[in-house]
Structure 1
Amino acid sequence: MIDGKNADELFTNLVRRIEALDHLTTAPIIRDVAVVQLKRALPDPLRRIELFDLVDQAVSQIVDRSTPEHKLVLATSTTWADTFGSNVRGYRADSDTLLHLLANGVFHDDGTHDHVWQRAVERLVRLRDTTPGTYNEYLEKLRHLPALLATWTIGVAAVLSHREELLATALHRPEWAVPRSGHSRQGPAWYLNPNRVLSTDGMHDMHPAGNGGKLLYPQSNWVKDTLRDPFRLVESPWTPTTTSSPIPGRESSSSTPPGATTTTASPPLSRRNSQTSGRSAALAPSEANLSVPRRP
């Protein structure tokens, strides 16, 4: 017999404790399940903490897998290319759930949860707040790749949902500088520029041109290609069209004969028929216009 408590108090507290224990033992959720949960929580003020936890858990998984033990920051000259490619693919795989949450969350949000999307980037930017004792410059810079991918995803989703003010925020905050460098703090449009995060030589090896040549801008081409999947529930599939010249950024060292036609990926039509503003294009990182579908 338990004194001092009626049945309502006893069992209500018991249920709360069981629910708390359940949250502690919950395994990482599947990406598509997380997206469904996010969409259900977005319009419900009572589920704001659930939404926060979904995004925060996805970020924590990236942070936990971004240590030098999981992503090497030092390699010999003979293993550097393999290590670089492995790290790029690893960071992209680790970020997959978060990128899908950001693409769908930002697109369907009305601005209520902008602080949640921005906090995700802030946490990822801090991955480079500490410097390893010994490291390769290009492998160490890759630690900002998840932040780069998250920022681009937020920016594209913001443009598609007619919220260019969020794009401007994403490209200006948070400010960051290399620790103990003495340099002034810059916005993400500077330090998360693909050309600063991704080595050109490394990207040539893992993202070559289809005709056997080398892309002039392999970084932005890879970012554009790898971010298509997170937007598959937001934008319809891209369809090929025939043009008289290659898209900017897809030129390779093998020139196209005069008058020849090339098949390129034509941007999809947004369900909202969004029009990219000149202001947004001016604020975007290097060749960000390649990742943002243009409207007719």
Structure 2
Amino acid sequence: MSDPLAPAIMLATSMHAQPGVYALLLGSGVSTGAGIPTGWQIATDLARQVATQQEPDVINSPGFREEVWWRDRFGEELSYSFLLEQLGQTQAMRQSLVAQFIEPTDDDRSQGLKLPSKAHVAIAELVKRGAVTVIITTNFDRLTEQALQAAGVSPQVISRPDAVAGMIPLSHAPATVIKLHGDYEDQQSLNTAQELNEYPSEWKDLISRVLDEYGLVISGWSATWDTALVRLLEAAPNRRYPLYWDSRSSESDVAKRLLSARCGQIIQSSGADDMFTALVSNLDALDRLTSPPLTTSMAVAKLKRYLPDPIHRIDLDDLVMGMVNEVVDEIKDQPLSESDAPQDAQGQWIENLFANHLRASDPLLRVLAIGIWFDDDLVHRQLWIDVVQRLIDAGTAGDSSQMASLRRARLYPAWLASAVMSCVAIRRSREQLVIDLGESPQARSRWWTFASHETDAKAGALLSTTMIPEEWITAMPRWNGSRWIAAQSHMLRQDLRAVLHDVAPDDADYKRLFDAYEFRASLIQLKLIHHPLWGDYLDDPSYFDGSRGQQPSYEQRFKQAAQRTEDWPWVDYFGGQEHLDEAVAEIRTYIAGYRNQRF
């Protein structure tokens, strides 16, 4: 069991309660996850380059170690600062030496190296949410700035002491990045031990102000080389907010001395990636705990913000599936025995049962409609399928001893969700999603005996208009005794009219859209269970007798849509154009027989 007072939890709780009071101090360890070498790694690589030129054969000798060779050759311990000082006698020379280790090549980019790491992305999220506004870094690279820009944050970047005088005050700037050792393209960057031993007065004043006014979270900085910064930390009087340091970079004697002097806390982590992603996750958990219940408008606003941003993919999933779980809770509360229904008002009881399902599902349905509309490349395709699957799982929970009609009524939210998303997908010419929504979700083993006795029945067989007894629907007081071709279809259309109003504002247009959906659902059911779907689409005034070769208008529009699409997914779904044509003709013949019999 984790300690509830573990430093990681203490930091997240404090940062959540007081956003903006902590500054970050980032060292080279933050960038190693992105493939940027540490100072020591740069030193050993440069030493190898020197050895290759002076003694070409030595680097291939068994047990060759750069630091040993350097000490034996020059009588000095290998160090990043000393080596740079010797190889690059001017600032410009040192800058070019460092750049080769920081700027990504095409090969680096293809491997995702020298690009913002998980730590940088998480840090950018902390800044975006206002939890952090000040970042001090000893790194020369620009990965922090790149991550912030990608998150939509434009920080002020202070990389030279002479820029301090003109900077926006820390408390007024949305974000400030202080590059204490400079930028790798700036010839005034600090590299050598001499340069790191004493800061200019502008740096001293600025860093002292940060250390006095903010708490500090340190990651990837060992405190080994930067003696000037160590002295500033030791002299800082601030004890209002604690100091936190990741366990991986706080092992040096100097780090331990600073932790002791400032009553600092060590956060156990495998590195910067681990620490900062966990911190963001903890803050998100606290957000969910303290946030008021989402209104539909709030959920829609969040959805529109999350959809195009890959950084918020998990947030989008949490938002949508959180709303699904609220519907699932309502499904679980539905009675499964007719004995719960009052004998003198069974029709009203049934109407209330389905009204409760619709009312609980309405916020989710509106979010799904907007989600499908704006998910241009169907990046979140699996999420939309998972919504239907989760609702089917909830609707089919339980055992077969319960009353079948009431068990099936619990599937109404799944049917509503599938229909809404399919209608929007049709309007947006995303036919493959219509197929996926009917084909991909699975039913519980042998739960739906009407479909098949296979281990897993397809959801297309579940979401059919044989789901609810017609006499139940016609008994509802809302219809006042009226009857229709397909009662469930009529109820579904009416229940979804408000949700799909923005998609199809005109009633005639809405009827055409829903006819298109039911025709496609019929194709899916024909393929899965060899039985078309009954729906109000049967009552098409353009269709009189299929045996005479006349086509219903929805069939005509289906074929017209195929002509406008280069890769029509229904052809592959049926295994070829010939089989698709046979399916369409079979539905037409089937409907013709039904209509001749009924009318």
Partner of 2:462: 191
- Structure 2 unaligned regions, length at least 5: 1-6, 8-23, 26-214, 218-242, 245-274, 525-532, 539-552, 561-599
- What CA RMSD, in Å, does the superposition of the two structures yield over aligned residues? 3.6
Letter in 2 for 1:82: Q
Partner of 2:372: 106
Out of 233, 237, 242, the residue aligned to residue 502 of structure 2 is: 233
Does residue 162 (structure 1) correspond to residue 429 (structure 2)? The answer is yes
Out of 26, 31, 42, the residue aligned to residue 307 of structure 2 is: 42
Three-state SS of the structure 1 residue aligned to 2:475 is helix
Partner of 1:172: 439
Instruction: State the 1:41 CA deviation.
Output: 1.4
Partner of 2:363: 97
1:259-270 counterparts in 2 under 5 A?
265-267=507-509
Contact conserved, 2:336 with 2:402, CA < 8 A, in 1? yes
Does residue 73 (structure 1) correspond to residue 336 (structure 2)? The answer is yes
Moved more, 46-55 or 175-184: 175-184
Which string of whole-angstrom CA distances, capped at 9 and with x for unpartnered residues, describes residues 37-82 of structure 1? 1122111111111211111111110111222xx2111123715433
Which string of whole-angstrom CA distances, capped at 9 and with x for unpartnered residues, describes residues 197-219 of structure 1? x2211110227657x53223111
Contact conserved, 2:518 with 2:537, CA < 8 A, in 1? no
Instruction: State the 1:22 CA deviation.
Output: 2.3
Which string of whole-angstrom CA distances, capped at 9 and with x for unpartnered residues, describes residues 106-139 of structure 1? 1211210011111111111112443258532211
Does residue 203 (structure 1) correspond to residue 473 (structure 2)? The answer is yes
Instruction: State the 1:103 CA deviation.
Output: 0.9
Out of 128, 148, 151, the residue aligned to residue 415 of structure 2 is: 148
Check 1:286–1:46 CA distance in 2 against 1; reply closer, same or farther (3 A cut).
Answer: farther
- Structure 1 unaligned regions, length at least 5: 239-264
Does residue 87 (structure 1) correspond to residue 353 (structure 2)? The answer is yes
Letter in 1 for 2:360: D
Partner of 1:280: 520
> 1:42, 1:288 → 2: CA distance?
34
Partner of 1:259: none
Instruction: State the 1:19 CA deviation.
Output: 4.8
Partner of 1:242: none
Relative to the length of structure 1, the TM-score reads 0.74
> 1:278, 1:143 → 2: CA distance?
21
Letter in 2 for 1:100: R
Letter in 2 for 1:72: P
Check 1:223–1:279 CA distance in 2 against 1; reply closer, same or farther (3 A cut).
Answer: closer
Partner of 1:221: 490
> 2:447, 2:320 → 1: CA distance?
27
Over the matched positions of the two proteins, sequence identity in percent amounts to: 25
Three-state SS of the structure 2 residue aligned to 1:8 is strand
Three-state SS of the structure 2 residue aligned to 1:195 is coil
Relative to the length of structure 2, the TM-score reads 0.38
Check 1:269–1:125 CA distance in 2 against 1; reply closer, same or farther (3 A cut).
Answer: closer
Instruction: State the 1:165 CA deviation.
Output: 0.6
Contact conserved, 1:171 with 1:283, CA < 8 A, in 2? no
Letter in 2 for 1:73: L
Three-state SS of the structure 2 residue aligned to 1:266 is helix
Contact conserved, 2:303 with 2:316, CA < 8 A, in 1? yes
> 1:281, 1:195 → 2: CA distance?
13
Check 1:133–1:170 CA distance in 2 against 1; reply closer, same or farther (3 A cut).
Answer: closer
> 1:134, 1:191 → 2: CA distance?
18
Which string of whole-angstrom CA distances, capped at 9 and with x for unpartnered residues, describes residues 194-243 of structure 1? 322x2211110227657x532231110110111122223333x22xxxxx
> 2:488, 2:289 → 1: CA distance?
39
> 1:45, 1:154 → 2: CA distance?
22
> 1:266, 1:82 → 2: CA distance?
30
Letter in 1 for 2:465: P
Letter in 1 for 2:483: K
Contact conserved, 2:372 with 2:425, CA < 8 A, in 1? yes
Q: How many positions carry a matched residue from both structures? A: 257
Partner of 1:253: none
1:126-145 counterparts in 2 under 5 A?
126-132=393-399, 135-145=402-412
> 2:489, 2:319 → 1: CA distance?
28
Structure 1 or 2: larger helix share?
2
Letter in 2 for 1:125: I
Contact conserved, 1:131 with 1:179, CA < 8 A, in 2? no
> 1:191, 1:156 → 2: CA distance?
18
1:235-250 counterparts in 2 under 5 A?
235=504, 237-238=505-506
Letter in 1 for 2:534: S
Out of 384, 388, 397, the residue aligned to residue 117 of structure 1 is: 384
Check 1:18–1:52 CA distance in 2 against 1; reply closer, same or farther (3 A cut).
Answer: closer
Moved more, 172-181 or 50-59: 172-181
